[in-house]
Amino acid sequence: MGIDIRFPIGLMFGLIGLLLSVYGFLSDKSIYARSLEINVNLIWGLVMMLFAVVMLGLAARAHRTPHVEEPKPAPEAGPR
């Protein structure tokens, strides 16, 4: 079975969210004067990391559960 698309999506959002959160945490506070002193980078970085955790969790859960194929119905016996 191939790779679940939620793994790379989760990794991508996690990495970008981490970078954005670190930038928002370490950046100069004066750049947030235009946004009513709200640290938008930090907030959206944390939101992206939360989304990454959800994606990675769903991918891990799908990887653990076995995929069971439904049995094929038996051919019906018609009149002879």
Question: What is the per-residue pLDDT for 41?
Answer: 95
The whole-number mean pLDDT for each consecutive block of 10 residues of the chain, a chain of 80 residues, reads 85 97 94 92 97 95 75 73
- Looking at residue 80, its pLDDT comes to 66
Per-residue model confidence (pLDDT) at position 15: 98
pLDDT of residue 10: 96
Q: What is the pLDDT of residue 21?
A: 97
d(CA 20, CA 28): 14
Domain ranges of the chain: 14-63
pLDDT for 12 equals: 97
Q: Please report, for residues 15, 36, 65, 68, 80, the alpha-carbon distance to residue 48 in angstroms, rounded to integers and kept in the order given.
A: 9, 22, 26, 33, 64
